[in-house]
């Protein structure tokens, strides 16, 4: 038991470390990009450069919010929050989506205006150099975020990463707009700004959908539910499983089900069987909390939807 608790604590510490690292890296990157992009906008007066600067300012604010919210979400359970604070991470996702949505609308407005009223861009070399720097800085951050998401499946970092992935497209669009606006196609400045704004609208919708699913206690995936059932029924003493209920808040999964056992087992034996199943589920689906209700098999009514055989898990 102590070994398992140590393992869970290590998993939590690892999760906290990587999530906080990604959040702080995003904040520092956004701050740097705000400074250099504002300089480039003052120098070039390009609409796409203004849009890029505004987007980075929104990214900076949302990343700062992310650091604050994640500090709360990663706090351990307390007397007032027995199930922990994991849902704050889904709230962070909604905050991120709001900033993405606001950024998208701003880009669309600026892009349409500049498309209708194009102007000649000045000092494009400054804008091009700053934009290339922004592309490499953002790319490095996205690579780090992808590694963190792979290790943690953090919704907040996934939402933040969506910002910066869209920034890559935005910066490429700015680069193309600056080049084409040098007399080749004056409306390129506004055209690329509108394209990126539309992409951000789609990204905001995806983030909102994922966040709402977690806040509404959506079940774990079918594969994960089947894995739980299979672990339980692999025990020779387990006669069936019913009323499986699952949800996820941040990194933490919550699992509960009724375990059907022989009527004649002692309470001590039934507890030992449940404990063995619980430990295996916690190892396979960490971090999670497992609640098992032990039922004598004769008390299970015919109207209960039961699972009494192990199904193959792909």
Contact 264, 297 (CB under 8 A): no
- Name the helix (H) or strand (E) containing 92: helix 87-116
Structural domain range at position 276 = 222-307
265 or 160: which leads in pLDDT: 265
Q: Does pLDDT of 251 surpass 70?
A: no
In a domain, 167, yes or no: yes
Whole-number mean pLDDT of the chain?
80
The whole model's pTM is what? 0.57
In a domain, 312, yes or no: no
Assess whether 203 and 262 both reside in one domain: no
Note the maximum CA span of the chain: 88
Predicted confidence (pLDDT) per residue in 144-193, tens digit: 999 998 888 777 788 778 778 878 877 887 888 788 877 677 788 788 77
Bridge partners for 240 per DSSP: 260
Contact 306, 244 (CB under 8 A): no
Q: Looking at the 3D structure of the chain, how many domains does it have?
A: 2
Residue that is last in its domain, among 215, 232, 253: 215
In this predicted structure, what is the pLDDT of residue 12? 63
Predicted confidence (pLDDT) per residue in 211-236, tens digit: 777 676 667 888 889 999 999 999 98
What does residue 17 show for φ and ψ, rounded to 5 degrees? -60, -50
In a domain, 159, yes or no: yes
Q: Does pLDDT of 310 surpass 70?
A: no
Least confident span in 65-79, 124-138, 185-199, 252-266: 65-79
Residues 6+ apart with CB under 8 A from 311: 226, 229, 230
Give just the sign of the alpha carbon dihedral 14, 15, 18, 21: negative
Assess whether 62 and 158 both reside in one domain: yes
Residue that is last in its domain, among 177, 195, 215: 215
In this predicted structure, what is the pLDDT of residue 10? 57
Read off the DSSP letter of residue 117.
S
State the CATH number of the domain containing residue 139. Answer: 1.20.1510.10
Mean per-residue pLDDT, 50-64: 78
Assess whether 145 and 169 both reside in one domain: yes
What does the radius of gyration of the chain's CA atoms come to, in whole angstroms?
Answer: 25
Assess whether 207 and 268 both reside in one domain: no
In a domain, 126, yes or no: yes
Q: Does pLDDT of 257 surpass 90?
A: yes
Assess whether 130 and 150 both reside in one domain: yes
- Strand stretches in the chain, DSSP E: 240-249, 252-261, 288-296, 306-307
Distance CA 105, CA 198 (A): 8
In this predicted structure, what is the pLDDT of residue 313? 40
Of the spans 38-47, 49-58, 186-195, 230-239, which averages the highest pLDDT? 230-239
Assess whether 169 and 269 both reside in one domain: no
In a domain, 110, yes or no: yes
């Amino acid at each position: 038991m102590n070994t398992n608790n140590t393992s869970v604590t290590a998993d939590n510490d690892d999760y906290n470390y990587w999530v906080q690292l990604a959040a702080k890296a995003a904040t520092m990157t956004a701050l740097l990009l705000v400074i250099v992009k504002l300089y480039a906008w003052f120098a070039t007066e390009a609409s796409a450069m203004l849009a890029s600067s505004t987007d980075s300012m929104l990214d900076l604010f949302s990343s700062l919010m992310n650091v604050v919210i994640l500090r709360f979400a990663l706090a351990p359970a307390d007397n007032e929050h027995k199930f922990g604070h994991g849902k704050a991470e889904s709230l962070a996702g909604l905050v991120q989506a709001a900033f993405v949505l606001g950024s998208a609308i701003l880009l669309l407005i600026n892009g349409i205006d500049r498309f209708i009223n194009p102007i000649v861009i000045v000092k494009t070399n400054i804008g091009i150099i700053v934009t290339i720097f922004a592309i490499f800085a953002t790319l490095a951050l996205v690579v780090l975020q992808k590694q963190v998401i792979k290790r943690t499946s953090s919704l907040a970092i996934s939402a933040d990463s969506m910002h910066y992935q869209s920034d890559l497209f935005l910066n490429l669009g700015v680069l193309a707009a600056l080049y084409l606006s040098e007399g080749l196609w004056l409306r390129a400045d506004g055209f690329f700004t509108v394209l990126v704004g539309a992409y951000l609208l789609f990204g905001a919708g995806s983030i909102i959908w994922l966040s709402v699913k977690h806040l509404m206690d959506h079940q774990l995936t079918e594969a994960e539910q089947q894995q739980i059932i299979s672990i339980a029924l692999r025990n020779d003493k387990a006669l069936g499983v019913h009323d499986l209920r699952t949800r996820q808040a941040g990194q933490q999964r919550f699992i509960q089900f009724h375990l059907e056992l022989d009527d004649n087992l002692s309470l001590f034996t039934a507890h030992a069987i449940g404990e063995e199943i619980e430990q295996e589920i916690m190892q396979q689906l960490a971090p999670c909390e497992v609640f098992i209700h032990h039922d004598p098999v004769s008390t299970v009514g015919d109207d209960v939807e039961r699972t009494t055989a192990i199904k193959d898990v792909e």
